[in-house]
Amino acid sequence: MPILAKNIGGKPEDQLLGTTLAALVFSFMFSSYSNTNINFNSLIFTVGFLSGAFWSIGQLLQFIALKGESVSQVMPLSNGTQIIFVTLGGGILLNEWHSLISFMVSIIGIISILIGTKLFSSPREGPNKTENSKTAPLKVMIIILISSFSLCLYIIFPKFFQIKNESLILPQAVGMFVTTLIISNLRKVKFNKMLVSKNILTGVAWSIANFSLFRLGESVSISFAFLLSQLAVFISVILNNIIAYTNGKRSDNKKIVFGMVFFLFGILLFSIYK
């Protein structure tokens, strides 16, 4: 998804609207044709709507971060911090830590993922590197931290109410779409219809990934399901570096490899005790 959005282009609001339009269509189709028992009431709709609002805020901030930096710099940091927030939220708020050992292993896994994230997001060399690129990562880090916290709420918040994932898909999509329109109106954004329509493809990719996350979350803990979903960071980094190489930029491949090792080691630790 990040690679599609980055390469399609457009303002963050164009990318967000295209994504939410696809999510809305997908959710209507799923709710209309699904064989599962989907229930709607005021609580489910309110929880789903607010969850979708959290997602829109977090995703807009992620798109803003991607606007100024490369995918290989932004996404490892974004994925890593999301994993940490969701893991801590699942362990502390949803009681997914069942023993002292699982707690300790989770902390070691978080540290390993943090190291991997740091190695992933190290500065890249290239002919267009400027002095401003040295200060941008700090600004981007703050944006991503807020983004990741909001995206964490999208995952964790509905779990407090023990609502079936299938019943959340439509209310969340409505919340995502409405929040996108509200934010864009407040920011006085004029949409580029062509780029919005192109970013529907971004939304299709996101919808497939999100549906897979919800399905997986029914059989394992939400933090572990989310953890597995973030393995897409490797695809983001590898493809982005291929694109960067074709544009004459170079990456520190040793740091990327070591980053992958630490990231995978953290995921392995989680998989043992989840």
Instruction: Give the per-residue pLDDT at 131.
Output: 39
pLDDT band (50, 70, 90) for residue 178: very high
- Res. 175: pLDDT tops 90: yes
- 220-239 pLDDT, tens per residue? 556 566 666 666 666 666 66
- Res. 241: pLDDT tops 90: no
Q: What is the average pLDDT value for the chain, to the nearest integer?
A: 79
Instruction: Give the per-residue pLDDT at 19.
Output: 94
Unique residue bearing structure tokens 């044709």: 33
**44, 51, 96: which is closest to 220 by C-alpha?**
96
- Res. 251: pLDDT tops 60: no
Average pLDDT over residues 180-186: 94
